[in-house]
Amino acid sequence: QVQLVESGGGSVQAGESLRLSCVDSRASSNLCMAWIRQAPGKERESVAAIDKDGSTTYGDSVKGRFTISEDNRKNTLYLQMDSLKPEDTAMYYCVADHPLGWGGGAYCPSRQPHEYTYWGQGTQVTVSS
């Protein structure tokens, strides 16, 4: 059973940075990982995702400011958030799902937030102006 545990959220001023971490405590391997966020009263929003080949995709609102990365030796996913804005205030979730394909051909398809199978408990990020 996959178990995702986020950390690193907090309250910061606009322009500051935070780094979120997500540990797969069961050391599940070969999962497609991503970050999703949800602000009060708003739909869930894809923030960033990373493919098996290390390629990354970002939501338009965070491009150029956020960086997703992973350390497979530590089973940890990161989200470096720079130049934070008040509109980045949300609960941030680490999510995961199984790749499609086999072996060296395995890949992570583009998924909508609700399509991810595994979710962490979330970590709150609050940015004040």
The model's pLDDT over 72-101, given as tens digits with 9 standing for 90+, comes to 888 899 999 999 999 999 999 999 999 998
pLDDT tier at 104 (50, 70, 90 boundaries)?
confident
**Of 52 and 111, more confident:** 111
In this predicted structure, the answer to whether residue 102 has a pLDDT above a threshold of 90 is no
Give pLDDT, residue 109: 92
| Structure token pair of residue 21 | 């971490």
| Structure token pair of residue 27 | 């050391």
Instruction: Report the helix count and the strand count for the chain, using DSSP H and E.
Output: 0, 11
Percent of the chain with pLDDT over 70: 98
Give pLDDT, residue 23: 94
Q: With the C-alpha atoms ordered 53, 116, 84, 126, is the resulting torsion angle positive or negative?
A: negative
Matching residue, tokens 């950390």? 7
Contact 13/89 with Cβ under 8 angstroms? no
What is the spatial distance between Cα 9 and Cα 102, in angstroms, rounded to a whole number? 35
The model's pLDDT over 39-61, given as tens digits with 9 standing for 90+, comes to 999 999 999 999 988 899 999 99
Percent of the chain with pLDDT over 90: 80
Give pLDDT, residue 29: 66
How many Cα neighbours within 13 Å face the side chain of 105? 3
Give pLDDT, residue 91: 98
- Among 90, 78, 67, smallest CA distance to 33 is for 78
